[in-house]
Amino acid sequence: MKIISFVTLVLFLTSHSNAQKIVQEYTKSKDTVHYGQDIKDVFPPASKGYTLLLPADDREPIGTVLTLDDDSPNLSDTGSVFKPANDRGFAALSISTGIPVDLYFQESSLTYVDSIIKQVFTKYHLPNKNIFLVGAMTSGHRALKYIEYCKKGRSTFNPSIKGVVLCESAIDWVRQWYECQKQVRDHLSPSGFFEGNFITYLFAQHIKATPATDIQKFIDFSPYSYFDTNMEKPTLYKDLAIRAYTYADIRYWFSAQGKGIYDSNYPDMSGFINEQVLAGNKHASLIAYSSSLADPLKNDMRKQSLTWNLIDKKELIDWMIKSL
């Protein structure tokens, strides 16, 4: 990974005689995150800053696709939403706080994101309209936390957010906490065992409780929770165009070793959209993928991060444009 310290890098990639402008400005973060009690249990530092991609022509962008990432993006990733967004006239902006696996426990992370958005939109004269947040996995959680931050009047920039796209995002941290306990208890795979221990440790450090001792703290932190009996948060998002993607294959989740439906992010994605519909949002939809009935059942663990690769990015951008 290339770290750029206090330097703005501008590249021009030529395509069909037009130039696509890419601006990257990062510093090497000094923030560290422990994932366990041992002094060596520390994630390596991440990049702190932003990447901005502007459309090839000089026209004003019709909007901005915004992702809140763990690190600087891989611009050669063919599965990225950035190029399809640029091709249709959107600017694309990626922001990372430099904190590894940042779940935005601290409001300082949200304040930083807000300040970068304001800085970039001002410096590059981006129109404050038609902003879509796109988040896969933890980035989806971050997207909803930032929208909540804005809806509660804490933003100094007040971005005009039009919609949000989620993909396999754990946003019900009550459910996720119990899933992590099962991951540790069953120890079916090294990655699952690590994730279970890490999330348990992280919440013990920041929330200083468990759902068994103080469930309200977990509900307050969650953008959505099935266990929230008041269900006031859905109103924060009900005026947005929303899409949620998930892999909801009952055959898989019942056949995979040690896995049930609550050991996936499907309940979070489905529940979030259901509550949006109940709140009156007429522009919220769930897209669920599944295997063919002709496919043999497999007993291995399917990575939920692979769901992002199933999405037709061009169709997704079409949906954004139709939502304008």
CA dist 87 and 53 (Å) reads 11
**Banded model confidence at residue 12, pLDDT cuts 50, 70, 90:** very low
Tokens 């022509």: give the residue.
Answer: 57
Residue-wise pLDDT for 188-205, tens only, equals: 889 889 999 999 999 999
> pLDDT by residue (tens digit) across 136-169?
999 999 999 999 999 999 999 999 999 999 999 9
The one-character DSSP state at 35 is S
3 state SS of 113:
helix
What whole-number distance in Å separates Cα of residue 219 and Cα of residue 214? Answer: 9
Q: How many CB atoms lie within 10 A of CB 15?
A: 11
- Residue 1 within any structural domain of the chain: no
Among 192, 221, 250, the domain boundary falls at 221
pLDDT band at 250 (very low <50, low <70, confident <90, very high): confident
Answer yes or no: do 152 and 183 share one domain.
no
- Identify whether residues 211 and 238 lie together within a single domain: no
Place of tokens 């998930």: 246
Residues 188 and 311 in one domain: no
- pLDDT band for position 300 (cuts 50, 70, 90): low
Instruction: Please say if the pLDDT value at position 127 is more than 80.
Output: yes
Provide the number of structural domains found in the chain. 2
Kindly tell me if the per-residue pLDDT of 50 is higher than 80.
yes
Alpha helices in the chain (DSSP H): 82-87, 107-123, 138-151, 173-186, 190-206, 211-221, 234-237, 250-255, 266-278, 307-310, 313-323
The β-bridge partners of 34 are: 42
Does the pLDDT at position 246 exceed 90?
yes
Domain coverage including residue 212: 173-221
Residue 19 confidence class, pLDDT cut points 50, 70, 90: low
Query: Do 238 and 255 reside in the same domain of the chain?
Result: yes
Question: Looking at residue 299, what is its pLDDT?
Answer: 63
The whole-number average pLDDT for the span 89-98 is: 97
Query: Are 98 and 142 members of one domain?
Result: yes
Domain of 112: which CATH number? 3.40.50.1820
Residue 2 domain-assigned? no
Does 285 share its domain with 178? Answer: no
186 and 154: one domain?
Answer: no
Q: Are residues 159 and 301 in the same domain?
A: yes
| pLDDT level of residue 42 (50, 70, 90 thresholds) | confident
Q: What is the mean pLDDT of the chain?
A: 90
The encoded tokens of residue 105 equal: 């426990």
| Domain-located, residue 270 | yes
Mean pLDDT of 208-226: 98
pTM: 0.92
Pair 161, 217 in one domain:
no
